[in-house]
Structures are given as C-alpha cells and as structure tokens.
Amino acid sequence: MDHYAPLRARTIALVGLMGVGKSSVGRRLANALDLPFRDTDAEVETAAGRAIPEIFATLGEPAFREGERRVIARLLDQPPHVLATGGGAFINPETRALIKAKAVSVWLRADLEVLARRIGRKDNRPLLAGKDPLAVLKLQAAERYAIYADADVSVETGDTAHHVTVDLVIKALQAHLERTAR
Ligand code: S3P
C-alpha cells in the first residue's frame, strides 16, 4: 500500500523565516513523496529576469511582494507539488489566503540563533544587507510568528539534519490529515 498517497492530494506549502530550510527541506520532502518541487524565490527571479537583491533595489519590496503573489497564484493552480515560499510570502494577506485555500501549509520553526548562523554566510537576502541577522530575525519573529501560526501544521525542526526534518514534516502532515478526515 502507498502510505504517502494521501499526502499527494494537495500542494504542500512550506512557510517560515529565512534560513529555516524551506528550500532544502522542501526539495528532500518532494523527493521522499515523489512530488515535483517549486521554489517561489526562484520562480520570481525567473519571471522578473533578475535576482532578488536586484528586484528589491530597482523595483522595491512592494513590487517584489506583488510578483511573489502572482507567481504563487500561478503555482497553486498547478498539480500538487511541494512549494517552498519566501519568508514574507505568507505574511501578505492575499498570498496567505491563496495558500490557505489551495494548499496544506507547514510552518517550519527553529531557534533564531540557529537561523542567524545559517543565513549569516550568504549575501542573497536584501532584508539582511548591512544588518545583524539575529536582530533582523528577532524583529521578524515578533511581527510574523502570530501569522505563521495560522499555517495548518507547525514543525519545530531544531538544529537537525534536513532529512530528520523531512521525517518530522511527514509525520506532522499525516497527523493533520487524520485529524481533518474525522
Ligand atoms: C524574505 C525572504 C526571502 C526572500 C526575500 C524576502 C522575507 O526568502 O523571499 O529576500 O521577507 O523573509 P527565504 O525565506 O527563502 O530566504
């Protein structure tokens, strides 16, 4: 019997702060469930023909959010897949409503210190440019956690390897499906 078949019925959207592993966990989760994988940041970059820092610098954050909303609306009309969203996507009310209506949403969480360590090494995130990553994450957590909490499922990942998180996400999704099927 294919235990994962019920998990393939709807798109699984991963939400949460920068650095929590939405893309790396998402890719592995898609692999484990034999679903396609999509990444909204990458799709926005393709649609705009430029990288995210450049979109922020030349068009501004509101234009990025609008592009993100359009891209997610388009992806959510595609057959079920695993969708890694950018950290701010679920915070936009319209984008959040789309995700809630058409996908199962999973909030990935980890200690802010862990996230800060992971993202400190990269320079592809305009919201961090020239700033202390931990300070930005603390502000974002204060603003966003109450909204991420609206996701269907929440998974505390800790500082573990991504394949461990994938198992936790699958178990949490199975529990969610059992709860909602009743
Ligand atoms: C953002 C997160 C980024 C990217 C953009 C803005 C945010 O995605 O969409 O830099 O507002 O948290 P990741 O969460 O994949 O880093």
Residue 123 is predicted with a pLDDT of 75
Q: What is the pLDDT of residues 34-43, one digit of tens each?
A: 999 999 999 9
Does the Cβ of 108 fall within 6 Å of ligand 1? Answer: no
Ligand 1 pocket mutation pick from 15, 17, 18, 24 by most atoms within 8 angstroms of CB: 18
Would you tell me how many other CB atoms lie within 10 Å of the CB of residue 143? 11
Q: How far apart are alpha carbons 3 and 17 in whole angstroms?
A: 30
Q: How far apart are alpha carbons 114 and 169 in whole angstroms?
A: 19
Q: Determine the average pLDDT of the residues in 7-11.
A: 97
Q: Name the average pLDDT for the chain.
A: 95
Q: What angle do CA 158, 159, 165 make, to 5 degrees?
A: 65
Residue 120 is predicted with a pLDDT of 77
Cα(4) to centroid of ligand 1, in Å? 29
Number of helical (H) and strand (E) elements in the chain, helices listed first: 8, 5
Report pTM: 0.96
Q: With bands split at pLDDT 50, 70 and 90, how would you rate the model's confidence at 124? A: confident
pLDDT of 134 higher than 90: yes
Q: Count CA atoms within 13 Å of residue 87 on its CB side.
A: 21
Atom 3, ligand 1: which residue's CA is nearest?
86
At residue 19, φ and ψ (nearest 5 deg) are: 85, -5
Q: Determine the average pLDDT of the residues in 143-167.
A: 95
Q: How far apart are alpha carbons 83 and 30 in whole angstroms?
A: 9
Q: With bands split at pLDDT 50, 70 and 90, how would you rate the model's confidence at 1? A: low
More confident residue, 8 or 121: 8
Instruction: Report the nearest atom of ligand 1 relative to the CA of 84.
Output: 15
Q: What is the pLDDT of residues 37-71, one digit of tens each?
A: 999 999 999 999 999 999 999 999 999 999 999 99
